[in-house]
Structure 1
Amino acid sequence: MTGSSRGRRRGGRLGNLVAIGAGAALLAACAGSSASYQEAALKASEDGDQKTAVSLARKEVERFSGPDQCSRSANVNCGTLALAYGALAGYQIMGGDRTGGEGSFIQAKGALSLTDPAIRASATGIVYRDVSEAFWKAGDRARATAVFKEGRAAGGDEYLYMSSAAHEAEPKPADPAADMKAADAQPTDAKAVDGKVTDPKAGDPKAPGSRPAAAKLVNPRQSDRPPTN
């Protein structure tokens, strides 16, 4: 494995660990319990076993999908349920089940709408980040970028910007130095000779687009006069 690939793998794992850490904090805030299938599902996914990851994520969804956990009358664990649905959507997408992933994503959005406003921005950032990153890894960068933009509009916080699509969606600043170099590289027909700027095409009637040299004006009366001593 090359150094650059090691760096990319470390960066990806670090991003996942930070997102999972944020998710764990939200789990503790919402559910009051650290027991979760999320870390086991993440490990299975990183090992390439998306089927197991999906199965574990479904168990997490089941824990918090009851009406006493997340509903209009009881929203104590809606943030946790949103995270669980977001993770499930990501594993489904990476496993090739895009339809199932989009369905789980819709369920996650529904749970987010009922989430406590105090943690909604963080939950939104993590859910949209998970789904966007899944599409990115699955090769659908257009959809990944669209999900990122949707999450940004929905109020996702800094966790959303950990997604790979964030770099594609954010406008890139102009490079004045590059513009100056491009301008300097433009060809010019003029050249300096003995400190004067001349046109190499001037005076050459055979050159395409050439301009004839200016004729010297002579007074005919003066030219007819014989030289005087």
Structure 2
Amino acid sequence: MLQQKIPATVITGFLGAGKTTLIRNLLQNAGGKRICGAEACTEDDIIELTNGCICCTVADDFIPTMTKLLERENRPDHIVIETSGLALPQPLVAAFNWPEIKTQVTVDGVVTVVDSAAVAAGRFADDHDRVDALRVEDENLDHESPLEELFEDQLTAADLIVLNKTDLIDAAGLQSVRDEVASRTERKPSMIEAKNGEVAAAVLLGLGVGTEDDIANRKSHHEMEHENGEEH
């Protein structure tokens, strides 16, 4: 009998949007599921991808980590992967099509966490300067793309968008955030509101999308430029 594929949820968003808080809440309220994520596993098992150019390094980092998880005697019911606040989700999702992984794991969904207060104030991240400084520090990251493009790439990859920190803005501000986010992607993933990263596990887990099979429809700006023959 074939083993059922383990679902994996990818959590993405800029530094400070509330990804880690959302994951911590999720793991504390997992409803009996064995979830492997940054707060539930030993340090060796943490999957936090700090390199924005995952497509170049994923074979070195991602595949062995996933293999280790899959070799456990007690296989997890669900895997939660947090990208760094600088990394794009597209290359990571594409990596789930690697032969060693595709037969055992599927991307249940990509969840993009948005800092609503920052967007309402006309920013994409709470601390633009810090995000930019971290990009410069990491030689592997794409330093050229403006944050605006990276924000749009995160939204384009999403199956679910969490508008976090909605308690920090009023109703008019929230509507402006919804309009702004919707205008940034031609795809129209579901949007939900949250404060303090509090989203029910039943909402985050069980999207059942199989995102790796749809990644061709979620191209980043970088990928589009390559296809059009533009130098980056």
TM over 0.5: no
Structure with greater strand percent:
2
The structure, 1 or 2, with the larger RCO (C-alpha pairs under 8 Å, 6+ apart) is 2
Structure with greater helix percent:
1
TM normalised by structure 1 equals 0.32
Question: Computing the radius of gyration over CA atoms, which structure comes out larger, 1 or 2?
Answer: 1
